[in-house]
Structures are given as structure tokens and as C-alpha cells.
Structure 1
Amino acid sequence: MSKPISLQLDERAISKLQYATIFICFLMNILDGMDVLVISYCAPAIAKSWAIGPEALGMVFSAGLAGMALGALLLAPYADKIGRKKMILISAFLISISIYLTSFTNTVPQLIFLRFVSGLGIGSMLASTAALTAEYTPNRSKDFWVSFVLAGYPIGAVIAGYVAASVVPSSGWQMMFKLAGFASFITIPLIFLFLSESIEYYLKKQPKRALEKVNRILRKLAIQEISTLPEKRIKSLGIPVNQLLSKHYKLSTIQLWIALFFAFGCLYFLISWIPKLASNAGLSMELAIYSGTVFNVGAFFGCVIQGYISSKIGLKKTIAIFLVVTAVLMAIFSVFIGSDFVLIVFGLLGFALQGGFVGLYAVAARMYPTEFRTTGVGWAIGAGRLGGVLGPALGGVLVGMGLSMSANFMIFAVPALLAGVVTYFISSKEIS
């Protein structure tokens, strides 16, 4: 009797097909990072050309975040029904079309609508790429590769910043959206031609011609073909979301949602307020703007190194360490205010917080079985995004009250610490 395919993948070196899957998922997350942040970099130019205030821009930002939350909650679960590849294609199409059409908007409602649509695609893309990467990588290095793929997100944010800095002043904000939309659009043929559907999806969902499609992938992986599909489960899983709160998964699901809620709240507070608070802390305007870039560069290295350490000492312990370090750095931040070292601290915060935060996506990808893995990742992201909405809003209230930067950081050290502690005690036996 031949070994299960997943076990054979664990025992072999990673193949070209697996590297192609990882690369395309990584590329899609780079574009996600660009498409999320492009509105932030273009916002001042849009506000000036349309003569609109911060309240209107706030609605635009919120529409994008709402779209991302609903994309993760409502759209991503369909990947468990139609396949990861199809959902990634649908997401890429939604993102590219909506981003490109944004360049032709001339009213705030049009902008709000298109940001919402692009958010839908981005939310479902993040969940689908994390699930597919988890299903194509060996067990021994799965946490590293999921974290690596999601590390494309901060890279996209940095690239968008550099491109916007030269394109927006010279060619206008419309050109920036055209470029971002075109960059997303040209990935669609790449996905179609070079991305492989999940083998686990074919084996467990068994769509039409599943056996033929599985064997085609197995030939490329140099694994012995199979003659029959495994017996399909007759019992219906029902609504996949219900499975997340079934007896076996309920406690670990709630723990994951709580951890992501606190981590998202802290992360989005920092992303939203770092340039403003850095300026208040005495950095020049130029250095205050660079603080966001330094944060994202630190984030990339944090995601990758967290993934590597997780594969050595375990995922829960690594994430807990990263998030507790974040809390300590934020709690003692007042020590660095007024010194040049503050920029380095922003980089370390990006390293520790984003590294730990992305690790929670890897937890979700490991915790749930193929039948509802993308649903699990999507709902974890969606639950976390509620914290992502509340974090910046609470930060705005605290800044408005006149609290200092160090006081704000002390307050937001608490959710980072709580996220780390809750993660450490996640009860799922699937997570090391």
C-alpha cells in the first residue's frame, strides 16, 4: 500500500511545482500590500484635487477595510467549495479591475464603492494564498513558508510608497492607480498557467475529473499516480462556518479570534498613527514619513525569521515571544523619544509585531482541515479586522485627548501582551 500523498511530500525535497506555487502566492501578497496602501499614498493628492476633508477620506479608508473584512468572512469560504485556484483568480480579477477603474473616479461615492470591491478581493486573496501554501508545503517547514508568503504584504507596502513618491507628483494620483491595476491584471495569466490547485481539495471534495487532475499534478511532482480516489465522506459538513465552532474546534477557534483581535488592534494603531506620532515625538517630517517604511521593512524580516524559528521551536511559543517583545518595546518607548534610535525602534516594532501577527495566519492554516481551511483562515482574519477597525479609532480618541506618544504606546502594549499570552495557550493539538 503506497504512502499518503501528504506524507510523500513531507519526505521529499521541495519541487519546482511547489516553488512555483509559493512564488505566485508570495507575488499576490506583494500586490495586495501595494493595493491596500496605494490609497494612503494618494490620499493627500486626491484631497487636494477634489477639495475634500479628512471625514470623506476616512469613509474611503473604512470602505476598503470593510471590504477586506467581508472578503475574508464571506468570499474566502467559497474557496473550500470551488477550489483555491479559482478563488485566487476571482480575487485577482476583482482587485485589478477595481484598482484600475479607480483612476477614472471623480466623486467620493465612486471611490468608496471601488475601494470596497478591491477590499473584497484582497480579503479573500489573503485567506486563499495562506491555505494553498499550507497545502503544498512539507509539514517540517509549513510555518516558514506560510509566513514567507504573507511577508509579501509589507514588501508591497514599501514598493507602493517608493513608486508613489515619484509617480504622484509628476503624473498625478490617477497614474498610480493605473499602474497598480495593470500590475495586478498581468498576474491573472500567471495564476491561470502556473498555479496548481490543491491536491487535498481534489481528493476530499472530488469535483469532476478529480482523479485525472490529481494524477496530472502527481506526475509533475514525480510521485506515483493513484488509480482511485479515496472514499468520499458521505456525511455533509454543513455550513463550513458552523464547523469552526463545533465541539472539536470551538475553544481553539475562539482563542485564535481573540489573539488576532488584539494583534490587529495594536498593528493597525501603529500603521495608522506612526508617522503622526513620530512627528510629535520630535522626528523631522521626512524621518516621520520614513518611519512607516522602516516599520514595513522590519516587518518583512520579522515574518521570515519568525517562520524559521517556528519550524525549530514551535509556532505558539515563537509567536508568544514576538508579541511579548512587542509589548515590552512599546511599554519602554518613552526611553527612546528624542533620540535618533527611535527610528530603529520602529523597525524592531515592525519586526516583532508583524512577525508574530503573520504567525497567527500560519496557526489558522494548520488548525483546520482542508474541507474548511480557507473558511477558518478567512473568519480568523475577519474577526481580527474588528480589532483593526477599533485600534486606530481608539488611538484617534487618545491622541485627541492630548495623551503623549509614550502613553499611547503604553496603553497599546496591553493588547500586544494579551495576544501573545492567548496564543501561547491555544488548545489545538495541530499547533506545535
Structure 2
Amino acid sequence: MSNHSIKSILDESKFNRFHLVLLLWCLLFVSFEGYDLVVYGSVVPFLTKEWNLSPIEAGVIGSYGLFGMMFGSIILSLLADRFGRKSIIIVSVAFFSIFTTISGFATGPQLFSWCRFLAGVGFGGTLPTVISLLTEYIPKSSKNKSITIALCGNQVGGILAPLVGVIVFASLGWRPVLWFSAIPLFLIPIIIKYLPESPQFLIRKGKLDILRTTLTKIDPNYHDRLIAEQTKLPEPPGERTPIIGLFKNKMGLSTVLFCIVYFMGLLMIYGLNTWLPKLMQSAGYPLISSLGFAIFLNGGALIGTIIIGVIADRKGSKKLITCLYVLGAVCLALLGIKSNIFLLYLLIAIAGVCTMGNQSLLNAFVSQYYPNNVRSTGVGLANGVGRLGGMLGPTLGGVLLSMNVPIGLCFLVFALPGVFAAFTLFLVRKTVNKQDPISTLNTKLEIN
């Protein structure tokens, strides 16, 4: 005799074709999100020339996408906990695809700016919802690895955007690079048919046949009494506003701390991505080498993210994330010291792992910290507040350079948020909320 629940079936299952297909779908969503987010940097030289934009005007237009992400992270992730992950993923993908494509037809900065803002709403809604869906379905032994692989789509999209630009700029101009974003729209009918919905949502809506079909794909030997008994038990009381649930059951302090960690982490990421080539050029390195440093920063993140995801599944996440923030701060501080080129490339690659890669692992950790009924909201709120740090990072770098602050001190300023993030994460207490609708309703169900 043993206690079982639908959550235990999902957590204890073996990674199979169902999980692989789900992971590839999520990787695709995040890759196109990453493409649409980064593509502005590829076309901005053409926009400034065609529309006579000043650098400040071009920077403001770029910030519209980040503002949209902040709203999308909070609002759409909140809706995902109430109306299901699948529908919000579809809405988010449609948002960023439609409005990025429309921006390719813009004849002036006003329409283009609005398109960037609305596309940003889709950017912000995609990430928390994808993470939450993976957290529910992927086996416990592979959660961190799978989530970090899916989030590598940010780097995939970031690499794809300039590559598409290189191919089409010379012959077709800048607009087709934005039209490329329409591709996910043609996939929406397939997404509607094949992307699985949250099991919690399926139970709440009484769509038990769909849940049975999904569980059969995961474990053909699952016991159907689980679903039968699940529907007989009373549904736990839910929050009319899921964001309130983040501050109940002793989770309020952790929620605030997570927001601080995200703020510091995204400040480092956006600050470095924006100013690393310029900082290295100011330090005396040629422009080509400085661009190479940026490639190593993203390349290190792409490779390292998968590695730390595997380690986290075996050893745990919190201590690893904390140590990586400290290591990243040390590497950034050392970048301000002139040294041989091999050591610099190594430091930058490690910094990429400890900033962008670590951010992916942090998303995986936070998504598993919260219960199902507020999971998307928790990840979305932290990401939304973190976008404020993402907006501060490029501004802070610009201020430091305009004041002619020594390069070594500039890198030290970007290193300090890593120390703050590590200390803040250290204060997060262990998960205390066990009120998960999928796991707790069946804790007394015994089956042979």
C-alpha cells in the first residue's frame, strides 16, 4: 500500500517522448521570444538613419519593449494561474509575433514604439508561463536541466537575429528581418492541438478525458482511480487575485527577496550585454576583440547553462545559484585588471554562465518554490520587478562612461549586484507552503 497523487506520477515518471516534445515546443517559444527581443539591436542603425533618430531617441524606443515585458510578466502570468498555461502561452506568442511583424511596416517611430511595447507584453508573458508548464510536467530528476535548456532559447534567438540580418540586409533591407517574426503565427493551430494544458487547470475545468490521455502518454500504467478520486474531493480554496497568495503561508518575505535577486541579476545581464564591447574598447582593446568578448559572454552562457542545470538536478539549486553569483562578481571585478587575452576570454565566458546562465537556473528554482496555484504569478512578479533592474543596467553604464569613471571601477559597480543577489538569496527560507492542489488532494488515497 502506498500514497500516490497525480503530482507524484508526473514527478517520478521517466523522461520520454512526451517530455521531449514539450521541451522542444518550449525551446521554440523562448527562441522566437529571444529573436524578437534582440532584433531591435540589429535594425536600430537603419532606423536612426532612415528616421533621423538621435541616440537618446533610439534608446527610448528600445526601452519600450522592456516596459512591455514588465507589464506582461506580472499581468499575463497572473492570468495563467487562473485561466490555464496553454491559453496564455498562445496569447503571448501571438502578441510578440503580430506586433513585431507589424513594426516591420512602420513608417515612423511612433507606431514602431507602440509595437515594441505591445510585443514586450508578449515577451513578458511567455517566459513565466513556459517555466511553469515545464515545472508541472517534467520529471523531478530532470526539471532544472530541462528548464535551463528551454531558456537557452534566449541565446539561440539572440544569435539568430543578427544572422538573419546578415543574410537579408544587403538585398532586402531591414524590414524582412522583422517580418521573419510572423513564423510562429502559422504554428498556432498546431500548438492548440498538441501543446498540453496544466493538469491542475484540466481538473478544475472537468476536462478529465484530456487529462487521462495526457497521463497515458507519460505513464501508460497510471491508476485511473487517481482522477476519479480527485474529482470527488473538494477543491482547495483559491485566491480571487493569485498575487495575494504569494504573501500567504509564510511566503511573503521570500517573495520580496526573490524580487530583489531578480532586480540585481537582470541589472548585471542587461548592463553587460549593452556596454561590454564599449567598456572593453575603452580599456584599450580593438573593436573586433571587444565584439568577440560579447560573443564569448553569450556563448559561455549557452554552454554553461546546460551544465549547471545538470548539476542542479543532482546537487540542488539554491547553494549553486548563490555560489555562481559570487563567482560572477569576482570575474567581473577581475575584468577591470589588464591581463592576457586568454584569461580575459575565460573570465568573460564564466561571467556569462554566472549571469545569464544563472538567471535561467534561478527561474527553475523559483518555479519549483511556489505551489501550482500561484506558480506563474510568482515567477512573473519576480521577472516583472527584475525588469526595472534590466532598465537600470544600461542607464547606469551610460552614466559611468559619461562621467569618465575608470574602467576598473565600472566593472566593480556591475560586480556588486552579484554580491547583493547572493546575500539576498541566502536569506530565502526553505519552502514552507505545501498547499498544492494537485499533490495534497490525494495524500490519503491508497491504491494497491
Give the TM-score normalised by structure 1: 0.94
Change over 3 Å in CA distance of 1:193–1:336 after alignment to 2: farther
Which residue does the alignment assign to 1:211? 208
Give me the whole-angstrom Cα distance separating, in 2, the residues matched to 1:144 and 1:391: 28
Which moves more between the two structures, 230-239 or 84-93?
A: 230-239
Which residue does the alignment assign to 1:285? 287
2:78/2:242 contact within 8 Å kept = yes
Which residue does the alignment assign to 2:328? 326
Q: Deviations over 1:394-422 (max 9, x none)?
A: 11111110013221111111111111222
Q: CA deviation at 1:290?
A: 3.2
Indicate the RMSD between aligned Cα atoms, in angstroms.
1.9
Q: Which amino acid aligns with 1:76?
A: S
Give me the whole-angstrom Cα distance separating, in 1, the residues matched to 2:286 and 2:172: 27
Q: Which amino acid aligns with 1:196?
A: P
1:84 maps onto 2:85 in alignment: yes
Which residue does the alignment assign to 2:443? none
Q: Deviations over 1:358-409 (max 9, x none)?
A: 1221122011111111111100101111111112211111111001322111
Give me the whole-angstrom Cα distance separating, in 1, the residues matched to 2:110 and 2:375: 35
Which residue does the alignment assign to 1:404? 406
Give me the whole-angstrom Cα distance separating, in 2, the residues matched to 1:287 and 1:32: 28
Runs of at least 5 residues in structure 1 that lack an aligned partner in the other structure: none
Extract structure 1 runs of 4+ deviating beyond 4 A: none
Change over 3 Å in CA distance of 1:50–1:331 after alignment to 2: same
Which residue does the alignment assign to 1:295? 297
2:12/2:140 contact within 8 Å kept = no
- SS of the aligned residue for 1:104 comes to coil
Give me the whole-angstrom Cα distance separating, in 2, the residues matched to 1:255 and 1:338: 38
Which residue does the alignment assign to 2:439? none
Change over 3 Å in CA distance of 1:42–1:430 after alignment to 2: farther
1:255/1:426 contact within 8 Å kept = yes
Q: Which amino acid aligns with 2:302?
A: F
Q: Which amino acid aligns with 1:329?
A: C
Give the TM-score normalised by structure 2: 0.91
Identical columns (%): 29
Which residue does the alignment assign to 1:122? 123
Q: Which amino acid aligns with 1:379?
A: L
Q: Which amino acid aligns with 1:377?
A: V
Residue 345 of structure 2 is aligned with which of 333, 343, 346? 343
Give me the whole-angstrom Cα distance separating, in 2, the residues matched to 1:130 and 1:235: 24
Q: Which amino acid aligns with 2:175?
A: Q
Give me the whole-angstrom Cα distance separating, in 1, the residues matched to 2:327 and 2:187: 37
1:426 maps onto 2:428 in alignment: yes
Q: Deviations over 1:316-371 (max 9, x none)?
A: 11101111110000111133457354334322211221122212211220111111
1:43 maps onto 2:44 in alignment: yes
Give me the whole-angstrom Cα distance separating, in 2, the residues matched to 1:287 and 1:220: 50
1:309 maps onto 2:306 in alignment: no
Which residue does the alignment assign to 2:198? 198
Which moves more between the two structures, 403-412 or 421-430?
A: 421-430
Change over 3 Å in CA distance of 1:407–1:132 after alignment to 2: same
Q: Deviations over 1:270-327 (max 9, x none)?
A: 0111121122223322332333222111111222112111112211111011111100
Which residue does the alignment assign to 1:139? 140
Q: Which amino acid aligns with 2:294?
A: G
Change over 3 Å in CA distance of 1:283–1:170 after alignment to 2: farther
1:211/1:229 contact within 8 Å kept = no
Q: Deviations over 1:206-240 (max 9, x none)?
A: 11x42222112122222333334342435342311
